[in-house]
Structure 1
């Protein structure tokens, strides 16, 4: 009964409900224009598939499966912990942590966790934002509120993307033991861009989707959260492809 209740509840959520409605409407519609009808049906089915955990894991696994969580036992000495920026939702009426999206929060929490393991390490928070409200300033406020001394934190507020973060931070990081904190889907591209600037990094990935571990009753039901995860991973595949194209045109670029 419990799982049946959860299944029905999940199917009534906006994404699966609308997809089911579209599927029914297509089944009842005039099929005289068979090509257009078939393509519409294919789009509905495809969106359902990539939004369901069971199918989405095949898209997510190639990037996520390359990394494991940071293990301090393998790295006795760390100098700098770099936390890359993510989404900002500027709103002065709420606390700094509520002005950061999920990816930014997961990154700064992981950065602070690792910082606490290395008393002599420094934390670098990075990322521009909206006007005067930057990823780096919000992350600093969150870190200080969680007990990190402000003297251990430095900001990189001018970088608008990962390529700029790597370029601006490289002079501080060359020949140092550097931990790079970012989302697991973003890690491959981020490490690549830092390596291009001569900075070798130790990955500390966050935001593991672990789709194969979702409850059985959720595996085949379209879910908006899963669609967001898939969108993030496809964004990274596009980003990696773009890097290859840019470097093919100009080997010295990025």
Structure 2
């Protein structure tokens, strides 16, 4: 069920979804060229448009995510800092930090920043992995190499998604002041999942996307970077929809 959910979720991302539509069009073209050309043009045009900073910026709405910035001046005390897992690239020939993807690095850096601001807070790094390498272990190794005391770090290596992270970490977080570190686009869903487990978290978002400062001539040129941001946004839309469907079927579902 877990693998099927991941496969279906991945196939519904913009790039594979529109690419699949283009492939279907080629098959339809064998019989009804007009229909296939029309659908193909819509799919390709949509893919190109959402990949431009001008359109992508409107979809991801970066200003709406600014509310998730952690303000240290308003939080004099912090007990725990939870850094959620993200992408990894296991390779035993590389240092731990080089095996972390950009998303994971961005989250870890924010978590470490808070760890230095709040020296008494426990740093919890989360996330499973594959090939016997976990996101949490790579984050822990990287944090230690950059000066964080190993005694302050706790791993959560078995969680394979955000729902797992919320469920497994909740018992250790209830009644504590907790900062939740994750990507800005992911924060709303992550916060909801932790809240549903009875954990009141303080958002500490990172990994923001904002293309408003890009030169005017680049605003209308498709970019892989913009498509990546829109894909992240779309991933959250699908994830939130999945949660809503599950809760509609079973109000007690996470």
Cα distance, 1:182–1:151 mapped onto 2, change above 3 Å:
same
1:64 is displaced (CA, Å) by 4.8
- The 5 A counterparts of 1:1-254 are 33-61=33-61, 64-65=64-65, 67-254=67-254
Output the TM-score relative to the length of structure 2: 0.85
1:97 is displaced (CA, Å) by 1.1
C-alpha contact (below 8 Å) 1:83/1:180 kept by paired residues: yes
1:142 is displaced (CA, Å) by 0.7
Distance, in Å, in 2 between the alignment partners of 1:220 and 1:129 is 37
1:155 is displaced (CA, Å) by 0.4
1:161 is displaced (CA, Å) by 0.7
1:217 is displaced (CA, Å) by 2.2
1:40 is displaced (CA, Å) by 1.4
SS at match of 2:239: helix
Distance, in Å, in 2 between the alignment partners of 1:126 and 1:64 is 26
1:69-92 deviation digits (Å, cap 9, x = unpaired): 211001111000000001111001
SS at match of 2:237: helix
Distance, in Å, in 2 between the alignment partners of 1:38 and 1:78 is 56
C-alpha contact (below 8 Å) 1:63/1:185 kept by paired residues: no
Distance, in Å, in 2 between the alignment partners of 1:37 and 1:245 is 35
1:66-116 deviation digits (Å, cap 9, x = unpaired): 634211001111000000001111001011111111110000000000111
Q: Report the RMSD for the aligned CA atoms in angstroms.
A: 2.0
Cα distance, 1:249–1:133 mapped onto 2, change above 3 Å:
same
Q: Which runs of 5+ in 2 are unaligned?
A: 1-14, 16-21, 23-31
Distance, in Å, in 1 between the alignment partners of 2:126 and 2:57 is 30
1:214 is displaced (CA, Å) by 2.1
User: How many equivalent pairs are there?
Assistant: 227
Distance, in Å, in 2 between the alignment partners of 1:64 and 1:90 is 34
1:39 is displaced (CA, Å) by 1.8
1:241 is displaced (CA, Å) by 0.6
Q: Which runs of 5+ in 1 are unaligned?
A: 1-14, 16-21, 23-31
Distance, in Å, in 2 between the alignment partners of 1:64 and 1:101 is 25
SS at match of 2:167: helix
Distance, in Å, in 1 between the alignment partners of 2:156 and 2:196 is 19
